[in-house]
Chain A
Amino acid sequence: MKRLLVLGAALALTVASAQSIQGNPNLRGEITVWSWDIAAKALEANIPGFNKLFPNVKVKVLDIGNQATYDRGLAGCAAGGGDLPDVYSVENNEAEVFWARFPNCFTDLNTLQPAASTLRNQFPAFKWTELTVGNKVFAMPWDSGPVVMFYRRDIYSQAGVNPATIRTWDDFIAAGKKIAAATNNRVKVGVIANGQDDEWFRMLANQNSCFYFNNEANAVTVNQPGCVTALETVKKLIDAGIVMQGGWNEQIQAFKAGTVATSMFGAWYEGTIRSNAPEQSGKWGVYPMPASRPGGVRAANLGGSALAIPASSRNKEAAWAFVRYALGTTEGQVTMLKEYGLVPSLLAATRDPYVAQPQPYWGNQRIWQVILGTLGNVPAARGTQFFQEARAIMVKTQADYVAGRFPNAKAALDAAAQQISQATGLPIAR
């Protein structure tokens, strides 16, 4: 699979155009935005800035939860476009199901002024792949989720572990054992949602240039070598007894209680830690994810979203103005980064001076430089319209493999590939 352009190169290629949009007091009306959790709060934080340019557009952001946004969006499209907002949040991985099944449910952003295609160079190319069908652009790129290790400085140093020496997953396992020993086995170094999600597998697979499907979305690739390594690593971590098993809520409880010393996630998790555990300010830091082999890739992507405008919106012009302000200007993107840690994919915003500042919560580390520094090494991966289906199969396969129901990771993934192929009708890549 081809590597992404290194971010630096992408920056050099981009014309350093000032990101700004023209205000318009004649544009009026009310628009509704659907989103979730900190993403909704981040969009809300952009309303005052937006209203300086467009004083007569009233924006209403509704936080209806991640799964509900997806489910209600699909239900709305299936019902022919009823009950949808003017601006709709969608995760990149899940986006293609909308364009494939309901091509008329969303506005082609090239039909609006200015056409979305004129904004193309302002974002890295990989953010557009899942949002574009032929010449049509159905959503505007928002944030991305470069994966990083969030760790507790105090616990690491108490156990005598220096994060700078953790370069491979084997190093990480050794560190985890040291931390367990130093804390009487009370503290683990990760939370894996084995059996409920396959996030760790996806992050590790992406790191190893493997995913459920190839980037052309025409073959199943989940049993390729990179994925085999990823699945083996997940089992190694669990077998070593250094991680606990739990879901989203359990993980938040664990870091609040100080029983987990590391969280691996997309960088958007920064806002989740900071807003859930303000009392742990200064105790946290970040370092890049360990590689599968010495000198290997230490980057991956998990999540990242986009904003679309349903075709049923009565005020597309106002909706498009809001989307362009929030996602297409440095000001809008940096507001969301500052307040809620959403990592911009707008290239100009990644060069903003704020990115270079030390962050007090993170022990004055310049975390955004560390995180954005990995972005150029992230191998491309594509969700396709079958993402949810493949994920359900993989969650089960991982749980079975961890429980010892397959002789090895390759056999487990061969079985998964067979099932995904049968469920989607796509062939298994050789």
Chain B
Amino acid sequence: MKRSATPYLFLLPYLAIFALFWAWPILESLLLSFQNTRVSPPVWNLSINWGRILGDAAFWDALRNTVLILVIQVPLMLALATALAVALNSQLLRVKGFFRFAFFAPVVVGAVAYSAVFRLLFNQNGAVNAFTGLELNWIFDPVGAMAVIIITLTWRWTGYNAIIILAGLQSIPKDLYEAAEIDGASPWQQFWRITVPSLRPVLLFCLVLSIIGTLQLFTEPWLITNGGPGTATTTLGVYLYRQGFQNINFGYASTIAYAITLLALVFSIIQLRLFGRES
């Protein structure tokens, strides 16, 4: 009796903190999603938020923008990161340490600081227009603003993913390539037949991280485009924040949070079905 209680006593501090700061808010926000929080005090109203979400044009805009970033930015970034990792791993490259650091560095920069810089760069009178001779009003054009967000995210996260993929590359046994070379396989064939399949678990890891990151995306669209113009770069994270902390509608914000959670669940199931079988 006494003996079996010991491990739980050790776990108790953690469990208490977990219950207070994780489990309780998760439960509380579920309860909030069934309340009208725009009156004081909030009242139960099972359908007010869940009934609103499916017909809410702004929610669908936010979802569409988030999915757009998922299907354009994430694959683009992972392809670039893979190419970069192969280049960084090359025998021909000198001062490897410098390049690895240089590509990883953007992650170290504070999100607020680099967002401000990108907003300036893509200003109508900014450096990008000046260097390219374009006269685009990036931030105030729906397509331009989305392009800026995608470029910004790619700049920040490509190097980070490349370093993870590089670690994966270095764990592929060299003799596989030697054997392939003896069999007369071209470098291109080696890449597709050996490198990519061996990298599969690593790429899956990067993909999962990127998808979770995209579903939570907030800082860049908030600071660079403020979700605009209109709702062109409003992501689910931005929309949740607006509802929660600008409109003080915690009930609806909680509903959006649960909708995002459900989406993450769906994406995870799809990923496991597609990639998760072997490894």
Q: Does A356 make an interface contact (CB < 8 A)?
A: no
How many chain A residues touch B (Cβ–Cβ < 8 Å)?
Answer: 34
Does A37 lie at the interface of the complex (its beta carbon under 8 Å from any beta carbon of B)? no
Q: Mark interface residues in A56-80 (1 if CB within 8 Å of B CB, else 0).
A: 0000000000000011001100100
A174 at the interface (CB under 8 A from B): no
State whether A388 and B247 are in contact (beta carbons under 8 Å apart), knowing that A194-B229, A195-B230, A395-B228 are contacts in the complex: yes
Shortest Cβ distance from A34 into chain B, in angstroms?
17
Q: How far is the CA of A103 from the CA of B41 in the complex (A)?
A: 10
B248 lies within 8 A of A392 (CB): no
Q: Chain A contacts of B124 at CB under 8 A?
A: 244, 246, 250
Residues on B with beta carbons closer than 8 Å to the beta carbon of A392: 58, 242
| Interface 9-residue window, one of A94-102, A175-183, A228-236 | A94-102
Distance A250 CA – B140 CA, assembled complex (angstroms): 11
Measured CB to CB, the closest approach of chain A to B138, in angstroms, equals 11
Tell whether, in the assembled complex, residue A100 and residue B40 are in contact, meaning their CB atoms are under 8 Å apart: yes
Known contacts being A195-B228, A396-B230, is A422 close to B55, with CB within 8 Å? yes
Interface positions, chain B 247-266, Cβ under 8 Å from A, are: 247-250
B-chain residues with CB within 8 Å of residue A388 when the two chains form the complex: 242, 246-247
Within 8 Å CB of A400, what residues of B? 230
Tell me, yes or no, whether B154 is within 8 Å of chain A by CB.
Answer: no
Chain B positions within 8 Å of A194 at CB level = 140, 229
Given contacts A194-B229, A423-B56, contact A74 B248 (CB under 8 A): yes
User: CA of A387 to CA of B105 in the docked complex: distance in angstroms?
Assistant: 42
Known contacts: A194-B140, A250-B124, A419-B57. The answer to whether A395 contacts B246 by CB under 8 A is no
Say if the beta carbon of A389 comes within 8 Å of chain B. yes
Whether A195 pairs with B38 at a CB distance below 8 angstroms is no
Q: Which residues of A contact B242 (CB under 8 A)?
A: 388, 392
A75 to B245, CA, bound (A): 7
The tally of residues in B whose CB lies under 8 Å from a CB in A reads: 29
CB contacts under 8 Å to A, within B109-132, are 123-125
Report A-chain residues with C-beta under 8 Å of the C-beta of B248: 74, 78, 97, 101
A20 at the interface (CB under 8 A from B): no
Interface majority SS on B: helix, strand, loop or mixed?
loop
How far, in whole Å, are A97 and B244 apart by their CA atoms in the complex?
13
Are A385 and B245 touching (Cβ within 8 A)? no
Question: What is the bound-complex CA distance between A395 and B250, given in angstroms?
Answer: 22
Residues of B within 8 A of A403 (CB): 142
Cross-chain contact B58 with A102 (CB below 8 angstroms) = no
Whether a CB of chain B sits under 8 angstroms from the CB of A393 is yes
Q: Which residues of B have CB within 8 Å of A357?
A: none
Contact with B along A403-415 (1 / 0, CB 8 A): 1000000000000
Majority SS at the chain A contact face? helix
Please name all residues of chain A whose beta carbon is closer than 8 Å to the beta carbon of B61 when the two chains form the complex. Answer: 396
Assess whether B166 is interfacial by the CB under 8 Å rule. Answer: no
A388 to B37 alpha-carbon distance, docked (Å): 16
Q: Is B216 an interface residue (CB 8 A)?
A: no
C-alpha spacing A253/B140, complex, angstroms: 16
A194 to B250, CA, bound (A): 29
Query: Is A71 in contact with B55, judged by CB distance below 8 angstroms?
Result: no
Interface residues of B in 43-98 (CB under 8 A from A): 52, 55-58, 61
Question: Which residue in chain A gives the minimum CB-CB distance to B246?
Answer: A388
Q: How many angstroms between the C-alpha atoms of A385 and B142 in the bound complex?
A: 29
- Whether a CB of chain B sits under 8 angstroms from the CB of A399 is yes
Cβ–Cβ contact B231 & A396, under 8 A: yes
Q: Do B230 and A399 have beta carbons less than 8 Å apart?
A: yes
Q: How far is the CA of A75 from the CA of B246 in the complex (A)?
A: 9
Whether B29 is near chain A, meaning CB under 8 Å from some CB there, is no
Contacts of B250 in A (CB 8 A): 78
**How far does the Cβ of A42 sit from chain B's closest Cβ, in whole Å?**
26
CA distance A113 to B246 in the complex (A): 33
- Interface residues as binary, A222-259 with B (CB distance below 8 Å gives 1, 0 otherwise): 00000000000000000000001110001001000000
Q: List 26 A-B contacts (CB under 8 A).
A: A71-B245, A74-B245, A74-B248, A78-B248, A97-B248, A100-B39, A101-B37, A101-B248, A103-B40, A194-B140, A195-B228, A195-B229, A196-B226, A196-B228, A246-B140, A250-B124, A253-B125, A385-B38, A386-B247, A389-B249, A395-B229, A396-B230, A399-B142, A399-B228, A399-B230, A399-B232
**A-B pairs, 8 with minimum CB distance:** A195-B229, A399-B230, A396-B230, A245-B140, A196-B228, A195-B228, A396-B231, A388-B246
